[in-house]
Amino acid sequence: MKASAQTRRLVITIDGPAGAGKSTTARALATQLGYIYLDTGALYRAVAWKANTAGVDCSDTIAMKNLLQHMDLHVTLEDTTTRTLVDSQDVTPYLRTPEVTRIASTVAAMPEVREWLLPIQQRFGQTGGIVVEGRDMGTRVFPNADVKFFLQADLNTRTARRYQESRQAGHEDNQQQIRDQIQARDARDQSRNIAPLIPATDAVMIDSSSRSVEEVVATMLESISARL
């Protein structure tokens, strides 16, 4: 499988809601294929971090446009790690803080931000050999991707996963808070006017609720093999 995938360098997209397991699965799949991995959510979080640090109100369209005009965003892909630099500062360690998480979906819903980030994301797919995960990768960013997946899981499973991640990161959110945050994020993602969270018409649907990462990756590899 690995040799075949390397012969033809594919663009593989994984979309889905918060807590479906996109990041973990995408990293594991990229490792299996010998591909690079791009966490596009980190790009939106980087904009959210910049706005939060600069004290910019994310609902202020004019202020956000000005922030983007003066923001230098640089991403380096190292194996399965996406390192994000804002104005030459590596902000990767700060992108999962509660403050950034709280405003990231608001930032991601802004048409101005999505338009600004679109060409940055698309450049990474020019040479293939990449696994990208997000919410509109297969529908808008890479509509001609070689293989598309839409990963989903039930709300209880997604809440439990995010709660565990929060605990491991040393945060003190309780499960109900996390459940409410996920439901609110789902509503924003699915109702935004530009690039709402929906499966691509040609995406392979996978429910990860009762599957391990290894099982999900195995299913993905079967689909990829069939298209080589």
- Residues belonging to the binding site are 16-24
| C-alpha span between 189 and 196 (Å, rounded) | 6
Do residues 75 and 84 make contact, with C-beta atoms less than 8 angstroms apart? yes
Do residues 26 and 14 make contact, with C-beta atoms less than 8 angstroms apart? yes
Q: Distance between the two ends of the chain, CA-based, in angstroms? A: 10
**Which burial class, exposed, middle or buried, applies to 189 when counting CB atoms under 10 A from its CB (0-12, 13-18, 19+)?**
buried
Do residues 200 and 150 make contact, with C-beta atoms less than 8 angstroms apart? yes
β-pairing verdict for 204-207 and 130-134:
unpaired
Radius of gyration of the chain (CA): 17
Kindly list the distances between the CA atom of residue 135 and the CA atoms of 13, 53, 150, 173, 177, in Å, as whole numbers in the listed order.
Answer: 9, 25, 9, 24, 22
Annotated binding site for ATP: 16-24
Do residues 32 and 82 make contact, with C-beta atoms less than 8 angstroms apart? no
